[in-house]
């Protein structure tokens, strides 16, 4: 890490610390009623208590499971469909208009449909999360596959590579930067939809915890849940960039 | 038997059986005739250069020889068989090395691609890769990515990947067109030593007339719109060629003059 990077890191920590201090100040001065806004101290205590009593940990695991299953399903289906559509000009021409119609559809609009068909079940949650999270992945994969250097396909032909080898060794690695970027975007979508589904269907998870805390006016517990959600989003995104950096080391060499 | 037929026969015997043959080959793309009635025979071990103005069909002719295009009329044969699909014993060195290499694979990985396609067992690959890198003058660069290499090094790498196919024939499309003069001359000599030793057959496209005469046993000049053969000269310069002596040889200068006049006449 160079000097500038260290300075940026220090600055961002200072901003975060300043933010927490301001929050504590607002809470101490009771600018907002403590019923609605606990200070960071109370939120932290609630967080520790939640974990030690064991309840919060199981809620966190619930949300992580919803998020992971939905995101993985979206990734597998999104990459497969994206590869299929992106690698054929004809498919792109036929399918693109339908995609343009479906893509801007808010996922919240299909939740009632999913509930009507699947009920308030884990299956419904999996479907909704996967449906919402598939778009960034699929569209990025289509773009990645469509943008493969045509010369590389000719190299593959000259080497008489098999169709499977061309996909595995040429198309996929070439599209990988796009695919990973799409998967990173979908991570956030999957987290949001996990919470929404938990709230709507009463499934075990942080969404449910947050809802119950709010109904009972336990604002410290509510904030503990929100902090955990934020941390989940942040840490999964960091994990994703570590994976990206490792898989795309060759791009760093280009710079 | 007529005198003409007997002369033709004598000529064929002198040339030997061709490895690559264009027989009345015509290629149309998008309603436009790009190559028309091309007749060309390349003998095993021969080094044939193709020159011609930009856009006259040199690349297209090479792609026909590679099996990347199928002729609209006539045929292209390799060892007497129609060349309808690329084959591994015919390697293509593309002009744009930057696009023909896999940026996500190291130099070793790029060579490995050809070895994997030829089903070389993985335990043999490293040894073969090292030998190939040494052969093209890139020892110690195995772990570099193409983007970390100069243009000359990237083109060497592409040549190494082609040699990994163990080809009997190399098709090269203006391989040194984008390189500076010094790098270019170095690579010319390397290609000569690599191909002469193994008696590899080469079709080499270039727009540099000096390069064509320096390298070739024969130089074919194409005429544009549509592409067809306009001139064919045998280069009877002693081998091995030498950057100074060959280029000062009176025969070199005579052929250079002849080709230059031909190209000049096609350019209007
Ligand atoms: N796929 C194609 N479709 C239509 N025209 C083409 C295609 N490829 C090349 N041409 C045309 O064929 C002619 C010869 O092209 P090319 O073989 O690339 O020339 P050269 O390599 O001698 O510069 C050019 O006029 C070019 O515009
Ligand atoms: Mg060309």
Summarised one tens digit per residue, pLDDT across range B46-94 is 999 999 999 999 999 999 999 999 999 999 999 999 999 999 999 999 9
B193 and B245 share a domain? yes
Q: What is the enclosing helix (H) or strand (E) of A184?
A: helix A172-201
Note whether A55 contacts B: Cβ–Cβ < 8 A. Answer: no
Domain boundary among B115, B148, B165: B165
d(CA A197, CA A186): 16
Question: Ligand 2 centre and the CA of A25: distance in Å?
Answer: 72
**B103-112 residue pLDDT tens:** 999 999 999 9
A98 and A65 share a domain? yes
B51 and B152 share a domain? no
Residue nearest to atom 10 of ligand 1 (CA): B34
Note whether A174 contacts B: Cβ–Cβ < 8 A. Answer: yes
Residue nearest to atom 5 of ligand 1 (CA): B29
Copy the structure tokens of residue B243.
């950057």
**B135-193 residue pLDDT tens:** 999 999 999 999 999 999 999 999 999 999 999 999 999 999 988 888 899 999 999 99
A22 and A46 share a domain? no
Query: Which residues is B32 bridged to in the sheet?
Result: B29
What mean pLDDT do residues B33-53 have?
95
pLDDT of A115 reads 92
Domain that residue A149 falls in: 36-254
Query: Which is more confidently placed, B222 or B13?
Result: B222
Long-range contacts of B231-240 (CB under 8 A, 24+ apart): B231/B258, B231/B259, B231/B262, B233/B258, B233/B259, B237/B213, B239/B196, B240/B192, B240/B193, B240/B196
Ligand 1 site residues, Cβ closer than 6 angstroms: B 29-30, 32, 34, 52, 54-60
What mean pLDDT do residues B213-217 have?
97
CA distances from B137 to A222, A237, B155 (A): 66, 44, 11
A197 and A235 share a domain? yes
B119 and B243 share a domain? no
Domain that residue B122 falls in: 102-165
A104 and A68 share a domain? yes
d(CA A139, CA A141): 5
pLDDT of A255 reads 66
Query: Which residues is A108 bridged to in the sheet?
Result: none
The ipTM value here is 0.89
Q: Is residue B95 one of the residues assigned to a domain?
A: no
Q: How many domains does chain A have?
A: 2
pLDDT of A107 reads 85
Name the residue facing B94 among A151, A174, A176 (closest C-beta): A151
A26 and A41 share a domain? no
Instruction: Spell out the per-residue pLDDT of chain A, length 255, in tens.
Output: 688 889 999 999 999 999 999 999 888 888 888 888 888 899 999 899 989 987 899 999 999 999 999 999 999 999 999 999 998 889 888 988 888 888 778 888 889 999 999 999 999 999 999 999 999 999 999 999 999 999 999 999 999 999 999 999 999 999 999 999 999 999 999 999 999 999 999 999 999 999 999 999 888 999 999 999 999 999 999 999 999 999 998 888 766
A142 and A206 share a domain? yes
* Ligand 1 atom nearest to CA at B205: 21
B43 and B71 share a domain? yes
Tell me how crowded residue A253 is: count the other CB atoms within 10 A of its CB. 15
pLDDT of A118 reads 93
Which of B103, B120, B157 should be substituted to probe chain A, the one whose Cβ sees the most A Cβ atoms within 10 Å?
B103
Owner of token pair 């004809």: A90
A119 and A146 share a domain? yes
d(CA A104, CA B28): 44
Q: String of b and e for B133-147 (b: at least 16 CB within 10 Å)?
A: bebbebeebbebbbe
Using the predicted structure, report yes or no on whether residue B4 has a pLDDT greater than 80. Answer: no
Which pLDDT band, with edges at 50, 70 and 90, does B1 fall under?
very low
B157 and B132 share a domain? yes
CATH number for position B251: 3.40.50.300
Q: How many domains does chain B have?
A: 2
Q: Is residue B196 one of the residues assigned to a domain?
A: yes
Q: Is residue B96 one of the residues assigned to a domain?
A: no
Using the predicted structure, report yes or no on whether residue B14 has a pLDDT greater than 60. Answer: no
A16 and A111 share a domain? no
pLDDT of A27 reads 87
Note whether A154 contacts B: Cβ–Cβ < 8 A. Answer: yes
Angular region, A110: left φ>0, alpha ψ -120 to 50, beta rest = alpha
B117 and B237 share a domain? no
Q: By percentage, how much of chain A surpasses pLDDT 90?
A: 69
Alpha-carbon Rg for chain A in angstroms? 22
Copy the structure tokens of residue A222.
């509510």
A188 contacts A233 by C-beta, under 8 angstroms: yes
B171 and B79 share a domain? yes
A66 and A20 share a domain? no
A13 and A48 share a domain? no
Q: Is residue B97 one of the residues assigned to a domain?
A: no
Start-end of H helices in A29-88:
40-52, 55-86
B148 and B135 share a domain? yes
B9 and B111 share a domain? no
A203 and A188 share a domain? yes
B200 and B156 share a domain? no
Which pLDDT band, with edges at 50, 70 and 90, does B17 fall under?
confident
B58 and B143 share a domain? no
B60 and B111 share a domain? no
B104 by Cβ neighbours in 10 Å (0-12 / 13-18 / 19+) ranks as buried
Residue of B nearest to A153 (CA): B100
A62 contacts A203 by C-beta, under 8 angstroms: yes
Using the predicted structure, report yes or no on whether residue B5 has a pLDDT greater than 80. Answer: no
A211 and A197 share a domain? yes
CATH number for position A148: 1.10.3720.10
Tell me how crowded residue A230 is: count the other CB atoms within 10 A of its CB. 11
What count of residues does chain B have? 268
pLDDT of B110 reads 97
Note whether A164 contacts B: Cβ–Cβ < 8 A. Answer: no
**A192-224 residue pLDDT tens:** 999 999 999 999 999 999 999 999 988 899 999
Tell me how crowded residue A238 is: count the other CB atoms within 10 A of its CB. 10
Q: By percentage, how much of chain B surpasses pLDDT 70?
A: 94
């Amino acid at each position: 890490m160079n000097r500038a990077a260290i300075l940026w890191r220090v600055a961002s920590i200072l901003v975060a610390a300043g933010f927490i201090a301001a929050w504590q100040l607002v809470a101490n001065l009771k600018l907002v009623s403590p019923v609605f806004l606990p200070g960071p101290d109370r939120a932290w205590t609630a967080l520790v208590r939640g974990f030690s009593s064991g309840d919060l940990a199981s809620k966190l695991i619930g949300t992580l499971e919803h998020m992971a299953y939905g995101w993985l399903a979206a990734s597998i289906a999104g990459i497969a469909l994206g590869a299929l559509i992106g690698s054929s000009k004809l498919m792109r021409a036929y399918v693109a208009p339908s995609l343009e119609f479906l893509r801007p559809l808010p996922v919240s609009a299909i939740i009632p449909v999913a509930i009507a068909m699947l009920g308030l079940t884990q299956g419904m949650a999996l479907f909704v999360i996967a449906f919402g999270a598939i778009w960034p992945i699929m569209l990025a994969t289509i773009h990645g596959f469509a943008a493969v250097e045509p010369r590389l396909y000719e190299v593959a032909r000259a080497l008489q590579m098999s169709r499977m080898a061309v996909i595995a060794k040429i198309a996929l690695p070439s599209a990988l930067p796009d695919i990973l970027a799409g998967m990173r975007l979908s991570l956030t979508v999957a987290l949001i939809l996990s919470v929404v589904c938990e709230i709507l269907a009463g499934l075990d998870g942080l969404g449910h915890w947050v809802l119950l805390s709010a109904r009972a006016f336990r604002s410290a517990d509510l904030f503990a849940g929100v902090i955990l959600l934020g941390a989940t989003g942040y840490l999964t995104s960091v994990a994703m960039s570590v994976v990206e950096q490792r898989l795309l080391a060759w791009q760093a060499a280009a710079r | 038997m007529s005198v003409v037929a007997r002369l033709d026969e004598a000529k064929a015997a002198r040339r030997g059986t061709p490895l690559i043959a264009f027989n009345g080959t015509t290629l149309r793309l998008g309603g436009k005739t790009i190559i028309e009635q091309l007749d060309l025979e390349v003998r095993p071990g021969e080094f044939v250069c193709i020159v011609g103005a930009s856009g006259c069909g040199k690349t297209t002719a090479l792609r026909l020889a590679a099996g990347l295009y199928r002729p609209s009329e006539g045929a292209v044969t390799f060892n007497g068989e129609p060349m309808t699909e690329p084959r591994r014993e015919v390697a293509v060195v593309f002009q744009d090395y930057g696009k023909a290499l896999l940026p996500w694979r190291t130099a070793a990985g790029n060579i490995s691609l050809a070895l994997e396609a030829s089903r070389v067992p993985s335990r043999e690959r490293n040894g073969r890769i090292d030998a190939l890198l040494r052969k093209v003058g890139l020892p110690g660069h195995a772990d570099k990515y193409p983007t970390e290499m100069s243009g000359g090094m990237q083109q060497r790498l592409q040549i190494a990947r082609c040699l990994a196919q163990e080809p009997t024939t190399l098709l090269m499309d203006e391989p040194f067109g984008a390189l500076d003069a010094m790098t270019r001359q170095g690579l010319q000599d390397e290609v000569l030593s690599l191909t002469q030793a193994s008696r590899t057959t080469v079709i080499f496209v270039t727009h540099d007339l000096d390069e064509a005469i320096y390298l070739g046993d024969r130089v074919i000049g194409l005429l544009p719109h549509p592409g067809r053969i306009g001139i064919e000269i045998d280069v009877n310069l002693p081998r091995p060629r030498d950057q100074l002596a060959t280029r000062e040889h009176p025969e070199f200068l005579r052929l250079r003059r002849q080709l230059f006049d031909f190209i000049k006449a096609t350019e209007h």
